[in-house]
Structure 1
Amino acid sequence: MIYMLFFISTTLFLFSLMQFRVERNDKINRRIAMITETRQVKEKDQEAGETFIKRIVVPILNEMKKNYKRKMPGEKQDVLEKKLLQAGSPFNMTPVDFRLFQIALFLLLPVVFGYYGYLLQGNTSSIFVFGFIGTIVSLLFPNQYLKGKMKKRFALALKELPDILDLLTVSLEAGLGFDSALGKLVSKKEGVLSTEFQRCLEEMRLGKTRREALSGVKDRLEIEEIQRLISAILQAEKLGIGLTKVLKVQSEEIREQRKQRAEEKAMKVPVKMMIPLVLFIFPSLFIVLLGPVAIQFMISFTK
């Protein structure tokens, strides 16, 4: 009897354990199926969205670019392309892309600002005022953005210049040619000047002369120090002067000019500090010093 009960209990335990494992496997399979179906649905939706963009949106944009490029004068394209290169080609925009971006802003921002004015006040005057502000912003923002990028990029290039010259000088003193020294510089350094010299090397590989490629760098970085440096390099190449001496002299001059600019900025600081002193600190100081006296005068006169 005891053996029979033990056998039955063992059988029931094993059966329940097997049943539990079967149910667990079923739950896992159902969850995997649900996740797979959800993923397939998402992939289908994503493919549908990508298909819509590829089939409809992209061809429309490409056609607009082609039409606008045909109508846009070549001189304006060249001027705008130069500005974009000086700004570092933000978002890899071409001149046509930038013009279309300006047009889109001009059409959308007044509507957005006008709607915002309607939400705030709900009258015609606020819609007109905010729409006018949106128009002004749409006209000024793209060019100001480019100018800001150019200014920031030029400042970074000027900051990198002394170290770049030192590395070029060391490479030339080690026996490398100028092109090899530029290649070493591009592989070791990152930044604005490294990017420009890499573009210079690529242009030389495509068939441009060294003078033409360096002149392109000179056009893209309209900084006095860099233009003077490239002019000195081109002049030394033309006259057969050693580039090492030229680079050393240029490096010393650039460091001296950097020191002078720092001293000039330091001398301008006291003058700039006068504005917050006069507007914020002096009035508070006068209130603290003369306030009690004025209160005493008012009390004495009221008596």
Structure 2
Amino acid sequence: MTMLFVLGFLLVGVAIALLAMALRPVEEASSINKSLAVLRAMTDAPKELTKELDKPFADRVLSPLRSRALALGRRITGADATDRIRAKLDLAGNPAGWNVDRVMAGKVLGAGVGFVVGLLIGLLIADSLTYRLLFVVGGFLLGFFTPNLYLYQVAYDRTQRLQRELPDALDLMTISVESGLGFDAAVQQVATNTVGPLADEFGRMLREMQLGMGRSEALRSLGDRTNLDDIRSFVSAMVQADAFGIPVAQVLRVQSGEMRTKRRQRAEERAQQVPVKITIPLIFCILPALFVAIMGPAVIHMMDSFL
């Protein structure tokens, strides 16, 4: 009787195992089918539903971060910050992709990056809390003012180019006016036949005049955008000539001669500064090497003679 009970128990176990093995492929097939159905549904979903997932990283992460940085930058900066930043952009020639919003957002993001970098450097290098705070504050301020420093450097380089290009541009304008062209046509010759920031500024002045701005106002706007004394002197002379009816050719002839004289004087001034500027590298770099090359063999010979 016991043997029959054990045999029956074993047969039931074998039957359950066979049934489980028979049903297992069906369960796996059903799970695979469900996964395929989910993938097919995601693939065949409307674009409106998958648009959020298909956006690039810049649109999903960087754009919201830039927007929040811009909002914070507007709160931190003063009420006249927009005008000041726009004036700096004009002096820098309005670099491609740079605007007031980008500068404000860049200041906030730069401050955050500078804070993190300063904190890491302070933790790795400095031992005391004071030096770590200095690194953190320095990194924060450097990151915050980095856009301003960039705009200042671009504006400085652009001002130097304007100063170098102005005499040649005035010579071309003088020749054009004396050959029978009007002032606007002479400016158009400079804007068309030359390349550089001065040609861009003259082209912008012509576009402003075509949009209805007066010649005097367009010239004053040119002087405000460039912030260069030579251009402001030229603008003042042309405005006075336009107001009092002085011949333009005569004014341009005087201005071109004055600009060439100033360029020659600046070159002479820089040439006279060379001896003063070369003194430091002469003392600390050239003279020591010269003394070693000249006095070295004599010192070695004297040491060998006495020893």
What's the counterpart of residue 134 of structure 1? 139
What's the counterpart of residue 216 of structure 2? 211
Whether contact under 8 Å (1:115, 1:127) holds in the other structure is no
Q: What is the TM-score of this pair, normalised by structure 2?
A: 0.71
What's the counterpart of residue 49 of structure 1? 55
1:225 CA drift (Å): 1.2
What's the counterpart of residue 224 of structure 1? 229
> Do residues 157 (structure 1) and 147 (structure 2) align?
no
Q: For residues 201 and 72 of structure 1, do their structure 2 counterparts lie closer, same or farther at Cα, with a shift above 3 Å needed? A: farther
- Within 5 Å, which residues of 2 pair with 1:264-303? 264-295=269-300
SS, match of residue 219 in structure 2: helix
Q: Which of 240, 243, 246 is matched with 2:248 structurally?
A: 243
Q: Which of 102, 107, 132 is matched with 1:102 structurally?
A: 107
1:139 CA drift (Å): 4.2
Q: For residues 230 and 101 of structure 1, do their structure 2 counterparts lie closer, same or farther at Cα, with a shift above 3 Å needed? A: same
1:75 CA drift (Å): 2.8
1:87 CA drift (Å): 1.0
Structure 1 spans left out of the alignment, 5+ residues: 1-43
Whether contact under 8 Å (1:114, 1:127) holds in the other structure is yes
1:69 CA drift (Å): 4.8
Q: What is the rounded CA distance, in whole Å, between the counterparts of 1:100 and 1:207 in structure 2?
A: 34
Q: What is the rounded CA distance, in whole Å, between the counterparts of 2:149 and 2:234 in structure 1?
A: 29
SS, match of residue 89 in structure 1: coil
Q: What is the rounded CA distance, in whole Å, between the counterparts of 1:169 and 1:299 in structure 2?
A: 75
What's the counterpart of residue 202 of structure 1? 207
Whether contact under 8 Å (1:232, 1:246) holds in the other structure is yes
Whether contact under 8 Å (1:225, 1:254) holds in the other structure is yes
Whether contact under 8 Å (1:81, 1:94) holds in the other structure is yes
Whether contact under 8 Å (2:216, 2:239) holds in the other structure is yes
Q: What is the TM-score of this pair, normalised by structure 1?
A: 0.72
Q: For residues 74 and 110 of structure 1, do their structure 2 counterparts lie closer, same or farther at Cα, with a shift above 3 Å needed? A: closer
SS, match of residue 93 in structure 2: coil
Q: What is the rounded CA distance, in whole Å, between the counterparts of 2:257 and 2:220 in structure 1?
A: 23
Aligned length in residues: 256
Q: What is the rounded CA distance, in whole Å, between the counterparts of 1:60 and 1:130 in structure 2?
A: 25
Q: For residues 62 and 210 of structure 1, do their structure 2 counterparts lie closer, same or farther at Cα, with a shift above 3 Å needed? A: farther
